[in-house]
């Protein structure tokens, strides 16, 4: 049973860079053909798709965040990470990592518990 | 950018049918997924490829998609189905979530 666990700083200052990591257990990133996602949710609001990484290294990003977002993986550690630059209070949210099959319409079927990131001075 | 619109709330009596619409331009030309999120929990996939249920999702959940509207239907709604529901579709390689609907079982 694949499990995902996010880890992050909790608090980031405005204009700085947010970095959160997702550790995959119960299945290796490099041995599967899956997409790995980051999705965020401000408190009391809806879900926002941030981006995804394919095992080949290909990435897709939300156009509204594309200039600030990088998703990468460390295959040796079975981890993938989100980096978001020049953060503002609007980036305060619960950040979820997730996994889905290599075909989009099969959906996102494994989610982490989420990690809360607050942007504040 | 592509947008998916859902009503903020839907109310349903126990045992009745809840219909949750999701609207988007030519949405019927795309595949839609649905996610259920209960308070304090991560989302759970309840429908994919418009009308297919993942393993473990009860048969009372069904889906359809045509024209500009996709619909998640909960038949014989139970108290445990009270949650937020989000539709999701792909616009090129950009994943788009709907605005979300809170289903209240009265």
Please give the full DSSP string across A11-66, using - where no structure is assigned: EE-TTS-EEEEEEEESS-STTS--EEEEEEE-TTS--EEEEEEETTS-EEE-TTTT
Q: Name beta bridge partners: B50.
A: none
**E strand map for B1-106:** 9-12, 18-23, 32-37, 44-47, 61-66, 69-74, 83-91, 94-97, 101-105
> Which chain A residues are closer than 8 Å to B48 by Cβ?
105-107, 109
pLDDT tens track for B38-87? 999 999 999 999 999 999 999 999 999 999 999 999 999 999 999 999 99
What tokens were used for A101?
Answer: 């099959």
Which residues does A40 contact at the CB level (< 8 Å), separation at least 6?
A47, A48, A50, A91, A93, A94, A95, A96
Distance CA A22, CA A85 (A): 18
pLDDT tens track for A48-100? 999 999 988 899 999 999 999 999 999 999 999 999 999 999 999 999 999 99
Of A43, A1, A38, A44, residue with least CA distance to A20: A38
Which pLDDT belongs to residue B14? Answer: 97
Contact A108 B42 (CB under 8 A): no
* % of chain B residues with pLDDT over 70: 100
Question: Position of tokens 């108290």?
Answer: B79
Distance CA A57, CA A95 (A): 21
pLDDT of A32 > 90? The answer is: no
CA A80 to chain centroid, in Å, comes to 8
Nearest to B42 among A48, A52, A114 (CB): A114
Q: Give me chain A's average pLDDT, please.
A: 95
Query: Which residues in A have their CB inside 8 Å of a CB on B?
Result: 37, 39, 46-49, 52, 60, 62-64, 96, 104-109, 111-114
Question: If you average pLDDT over each of A32-36, A55-59, B29-33, which comes out highest?
Answer: B29-33
DSSP class per residue in B60-81: TEEEEEETTEEEEEESS--GGG
> Which chain A residues are closer than 8 Å to B1 by Cβ?
63-64
Of A52, A116, A49, A77, residue with least CA distance to B1: A49
Q: How many CB atoms lie within 10 A of CB A94?
A: 18
What tokens were used for B35?
Answer: 């996610």
Q: How many residues does chain B have?
A: 106
């Amino acid at each position: 049973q694949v499990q995902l666990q996010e880890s992050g700083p909790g608090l980031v200052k405005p204009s700085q860079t947010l970095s959160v990591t997702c550790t995959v257990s119960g299945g290796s990133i490099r041995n599967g053909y899956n997409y790995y996602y980051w999705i965020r949710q401000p408190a009391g609001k809806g879900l926002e798709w941030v981006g995804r990484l394919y095992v080949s290294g290909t990435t897709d990003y939300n156009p509204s965040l594309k200039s600030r977002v990088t998703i990468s993986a460390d295959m040796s550690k079975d981890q993938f990470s989100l980096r978001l630059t020049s953060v503002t209070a609007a980036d305060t949210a619960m950040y979820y990592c997730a996994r889905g099959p290599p075909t989009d319409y099969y959906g996102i079927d494994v989610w982490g518990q989420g990690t809360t990131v607050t942007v504040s001075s | 950018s592509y947008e998916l619109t859902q009503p903020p709330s839907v109310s349903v009596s126990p045992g009745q049918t809840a219909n949750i619409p999701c609207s988007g331009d030519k949405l019927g030309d795309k595949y839609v997924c649905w996610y259920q999120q209960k308070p304090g929990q991560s989302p759970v996939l309840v429908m994919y490829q418009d009308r297919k249920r993942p393993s473990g999702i009860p048969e009372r959940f069904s889906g359809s998609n045509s024209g500009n509207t996709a619909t998640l239907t909960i038949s014989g709604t139970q108290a445990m189905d009270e949650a937020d529901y989000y539709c999701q579709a792909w616009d090129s390689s950009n994943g788009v979530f709907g605005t979300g609907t809170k289903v209240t079982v009265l």
